[in-house]
Amino acid sequence: MRVTALGANSMPQTQSQPEPWWRGAVIYQVYPRSYCDSNGDGVGDLNGLAERLDHIASLGVDGVWISPFFKSPMADFGYDVSDYCEVDPLFGTLADFDRVVEKARGLGLKILIDQVFSHTSDEHAWFQDSRSSRSNPRSDWYVWADAKPDGSPPNNWQSVFGGPAWTWDARRGQYYLHNFLSSQPQLNLHRPDVQSAILDVMRFWLERGVDGVRLDAVSFMMHDPELKDNPPRECTARRRTRPFDFQEHLYNQSQPEIVDFLKRLKEVGDGYGSSYMVAEVDREHSDAEMKAFTQGEDMLQSAYGFTFLYADDLTPALVKRAMEEWPGHAGEGWPSWTFSNHDAPRAVSRWAKGRDPKAFADLTVLLLMCLRGNVFIYQGEELGLPQAEVPFERLQDPEAIANWPLTLGRDGARTPLPWQSDKAHAGFGPSEPWLPLSNAHVDLAVDRQEADETSTLHHTRRAVALRKRFEALRTGRIDFLNSSDDILAFTRGEGAAAVLCVFNLGHQDAAFRAPDGWQIVQTLNGADTASTTLEPLQGYIAKRA
């Protein structure tokens, strides 16, 4: 079989400059509401995270990203912040957060927090001041606009969660902008004083010991000041379930001024050593923005989009297309990848499509560890959890409730983590949890998988260890090999240090014969290393012989 390299995806490394800790890192995402409930109120908390932090460390990951735990009315479960510098009592106290940081240090884990700088809660003191009059010092800290002559909103912008992106406020006699819920008013980050206030928030947490920040909804940080109408989007094969899907979002997001603000954020982070910042870019065509946000030394270290999170299928073409968007040119930023998170249905349920769910979970874990860039493991992914089914009467997600039953919503990816199969509520806590536990998840509880060396949990530990063992898997270039439509085959690194990665992502047996000179170091789902055929979901990792 002829083997051809299809792309070189990194610049040669120099011996004189060691890679920073975050480059090629594996980071575990914690959704704290659903990780561990320490006080019996049905909601996970910071003390529960501290109690179970050893589980994360046992995976061998480099760091932990904690989704929002800040003071909030919880209309969007913490992504509606009412005080950036306070812990919500639901999750504990600042002292509890300090204990998480201290324990993480002892376990060799970095701590990342989730910051939402595009909007706040309408209960934030800044918004309360802003809405009180048109003349107070914070009057322009949010995006306000007059009604049209007929009383309708200033333009046609639509909210992600459905309906117009404008809500009338009688106090000011104006509309305010909200790209999400009406209780999440949009900050006016065009104003230098608003930017300065946000930079102070960054300093508060960096001084408290965090090692990095995941920046939520970066594309929404700024709007077009002229408030021009968005043009309609041409009919697409993708199903449209919200008014938001009918527009090209040229003016309510992705404004060029975002780049300069991110530079200011990065400058603050640089003042605290090796602080790591990663931007979430939630946009259909996110690659250009991901690059703009990470291009050059004065920009963020990394960014990730929804390339895999919203993909209908996991195919070699998808992986190749995603990797080749980052060819490693001089000055180019560093990508991050994830297959699951709190905003998307779990990968096993999206992609297995009738194939063995455990075998598929094991494949996705190993493949993720082989990708060039940083990678995020979403809590429960190390257990191979499928999407949970949450009945309508138990739904909490406002998007799912509004669009039922046309979207799967986010609750099914946010249900509590199962710890002990024989305990009430699978050991998550002593009381009924805020979202119901799935029976299918109880069968995959941590204690059961600890007792089974063939489990996805043990497989995840081996996969992370493999990435750490071979520097090529963390930071090396990536070159794709010619193969069939179902076979994904590529090398990482160069020369004697190179690693070969082969996966059958299809539904049928597929032929593949590795070139000479390779020695198998790990097989996947019972692959026969002597055979030239891989069954569905089989694969292997090899090093130079």
Instruction: Give me the helices (H) in 108-215, please.
Output: 125-132, 192-207
**Gap between the Cα atoms of 61 and 382, Å rounded:** 11
pLDDT of residue 103: 98
Strand partners, 504: 487
Tens of pLDDT, residue by residue over 298-340, are 999 999 999 999 899 999 999 999 999 999 888 899 999 999 9
**Gap between the Cα atoms of 478 and 499, Å rounded:** 10
Pick left, alpha or beta for residue 336 (phi over 0 → left; psi -120 to 50 → alpha; otherwise beta).
beta
Neighbours of 7 (CB within 10 A): 15
pLDDT of residue 9: 40
pLDDT of residue 4: 34
The C-alpha angle 90, 343, 299, rounded to 5 degrees, equals 95
**Gap between the Cα atoms of 210 and 102, Å rounded:** 10
The answer to whether the beta carbons of residues 281 and 305 sit under 8 Å apart is yes
Which residue carries 């870019």 as its tokens?
281
pLDDT of residue 359: 98
Indicate the length of the chain as a whole number: 545
Domains of the chain and any CATH numbers:
26-118+193-238+253-464 (3.20.20.80), 119-188+239-252 (3.90.400.10)
Sign of CA dihedral 447, 451, 453, 454: negative
280 is a catalytic site residue: yes
Q: Is 539 exposed, middle or buried (0-12, 13-18, 19+ CB in 10 A)?
A: buried
Q: Catalytic pick from 37, 122, 216, 382?
A: 216
Strand partners, 27: 63, 376
Consecutive 10-residue runs of the chain (545 residues): their mean pLDDT? Answer: 36 57 97 98 98 98 98 96 98 98 98 98 98 97 98 97 95 97 98 98 97 97 98 76 90 96 97 92 82 95 93 96 92 95 95 97 98 98 96 88 75 97 97 96 98 98 98 97 92 97 97 91 94 96 96
pLDDT of residue 15: 45
Which residue carries 């199962």 as its tokens?
418
Q: Catalytic pick from 280, 343, 362, 381?
A: 280
The DSSP secondary-structure symbol of 545 reads -
